[in-house]
Amino acid sequence: MSALSGPDSSGPALDGPSFSGRVIVVGVTGGIAAYKAVEVCRRLVDAGAHVVPVMTQDAEHFIGRTTLSALCSEPVQTSLWDEDSPIPHTQLGQSADLILVVPATARLLGAYAGGLSTDLLTNTLLATRAPVIVCPAMHTEMWEHPAVQDNVVLLRRRGVVVVDPDVGRLAGGDSGAGRLASPERIVAAVARTLGPRDLADLIVVVTAGGTREPIDAVRVIANRSSGKQGYALAAEAAARGAVVTLISTVELATPPFVALVKVETAAQMQTAVESLAAVADVVIMAAAVADFRPKAVAVNKLKKHDGPPDIILEPTPDILAGLGMVKPTGQILVGFAAETDDLVDNAEAKLRRKNLDLIVANDVGAAGVGFQHDTNAVCLLRPDAPMVTIGLTDKRSIARAVLDSVVDIRRGSRS
């Protein structure tokens, strides 16, 4: 048995991407959205990145350099001439693992597309071979101008990652396309760019949350699953380049670059899963699907004064077993086993019985494990490899370990 321990308290923030050891140059240009770069930088630092801030002269109209200097890993750099290095742009460009421009104004996009080296930031962009992400933000009329759109197309063709702006409220009370993407989406784009890309372009289906089986028009039979582990798996798969669909019963923020399908009951989840599984490369059934449901559902709310109802239960379809019976060649099927006793024995039996490639087992009776918690501790069991035990850690780290196993299984099947 091998063991993996979770990150220590000095590591990246819980349930987020890890940029430990990565050098990220963050360029801030002169747009009203410059203040949002502060939150982006904070999240990058919290995730373990060494963040080097570069501000244009115009950016200082909107945000003070002291703020970024305090939150980032180094003081702000602004000039080609006033820094310690005689060639700061070359040093920045060569040392960066990634350059992120947030916000990217129309002027910056035009200068970068045209190869103009007008300041420290544009010089750095031209002097790097690191991946570059630009996050445009401007008024709708500017964003939709043909010149700006041509520049965006050109940059994308050269390999620059463009995080399209959102639609929403803009400066001056206007509303429309051009609002800077959310910090969550920007950081997710960084994770997707710097990630291992070992799931690139694979179709991954993840289920999350506990199903709710109706008793009457108001009441349901449910369980305590929060869906957090499934959402962490979807976010991590997307960060590694997969095309991810998340089938969920819970109300959590959808991870960036993930398509969401909302369901409530086991029957609805079965329909959604079966419609997507046939073409999926990986199916991860992290949802807690009810084993039983009321055989008859009252149309109206049952009244207390009528006394306790006789609720007759019937089994729900075993979605996971059904997937195992028709699993296409090469597909990886991952199941979960939430247990309170005989953890390993029960998980091994389920692994064999349902024709799974991997099962993730956890003792939901243990402190800090499973339902409702931000942490988890699991055992990973496969038919062809020793069990791996992962101690108590955040659910994003659990997701990384699960997907590492998926990648290992794919490599083994190909060889």
Residues 6+ apart with CB under 8 A from 315: 291, 292
What Rg, from alpha-carbon coordinates, does the chain have?
Answer: 25
Beta strands, E only, 105-174: 132-136, 161-162, 166-169
Longest dimension (CA), the chain: 85
Residue 252 sits in a domain whose CATH number is 3.40.50.10300
Note whether residue 7 is domain-resident. Answer: no
Give yes or no: residues 24 and 136 share one domain. yes
Give yes or no: residues 180 and 215 share one domain. no
Q: What are phi and psi of 182, to 5 degrees?
A: -65, 155
Give yes or no: residues 51 and 190 share one domain. yes
Cis check for the bond before 255: say yes or no (omega within 30 of 0).
no
What letter does residue 180 receive in the DSSP assignment? P
Note whether residue 1 is domain-resident. Answer: no
Note whether residue 343 is domain-resident. Answer: yes
Note whether residue 107 is domain-resident. Answer: yes
Q: From 281, 253, 223, 321, select the one nearest 403 (Cα to Cα).
A: 281
CA dist 324 and 112 (Å) reads: 51
Tokens of 399: 């997701």
CA dist 327 and 298 (Å) reads: 36
Note whether residue 2 is domain-resident. Answer: no
Q: Which of 144, 172, 194 is a domain's end point?
A: 194
Domain around 277: 203-414
CA quadruple 71, 72, 75, 78: dihedral sign: negative
Note whether residue 6 is domain-resident. Answer: no
CA dist 121 and 99 (Å) reads: 10
Whole-angstrom CA distances from 276 to 61, 243, 261 are 50, 12, 11
Give yes or no: residues 87 and 132 share one domain. yes
Give yes or no: residues 217 and 365 share one domain. yes
Give yes or no: residues 237 and 162 share one domain. no
Q: Which residues pair with 207 in a beta bridge?
A: 247, 285
What string of pLDDT tens digits covers the 415 residues of the chain? 333 333 333 344 446 788 999 999 999 999 999 999 999 999 999 999 999 999 999 999 999 999 999 999 999 999 887 666 667 778 899 999 999 999 999 999 999 999 999 999 999 999 999 999 999 999 999 999 999 999 999 999 999 999 999 999 888 788 889 999 999 999 999 999 999 999 999 999 999 999 999 999 999 999 989 999 999 999 999 999 999 999 999 999 999 999 999 999 999 999 999 999 999 999 999 999 999 999 999 999 999 999 999 999 999 999 999 999 999 999 999 999 998 899 999 999 999 999 999 999 999 889 989 788 999 999 999 998 999 999 999 999 999 999 999 999 999 876 5
CA dist 404 and 351 (Å) reads: 18
Give yes or no: residues 97 and 227 share one domain. no
Give yes or no: residues 219 and 184 share one domain. no
Q: Which residues pair with 161 in a beta bridge?
A: 133
CA dist 338 and 146 (Å) reads: 54
Give yes or no: residues 41 and 178 share one domain. yes
Q: Which of 164, 194, 224 is a domain's end point?
A: 194
Residue type, 284: I
Note whether residue 299 is domain-resident. Answer: yes
CA dist 68 and 77 (Å) reads: 10
Q: How many domains does the chain have?
A: 2
Q: Which of 174, 194, 214 is a domain's end point?
A: 194
Identify whether 223 is a catalytic site residue.
Answer: yes
Report how far apart the first and last C-alpha atoms of the chain are (Å, whole number). 24
Assign 3-state DSSP to the chain and report helix, strand, coil percentages, each to 5.
Answer: 35, 25, 40
Q: What is the residue whose two structure tokens read 């909107």?
A: 62
To which H or E segment does residue 94 belong?
helix 88-95
Q: State pTM to two decimals.
A: 0.88
CB 320 within 8 A of CB 285: yes
Q: What is the dihedral of CA 264, 265, 271, 277, to 10 degrees?
A: 70
Catalytic residue from among 123, 223, 346, 362: 223
The angle at the Cα of 229, spanning 228 to 234, to the nearest 5 degrees, equals 95
Q: What is the pLDDT of residues 333-350, one digit of tens each?
A: 999 999 889 999 999 999
Give yes or no: residues 267 and 154 share one domain. no
Residue type, 251: E
Give yes or no: residues 130 and 224 share one domain. no
Q: Name the H helices within 13-60.
A: 37-46
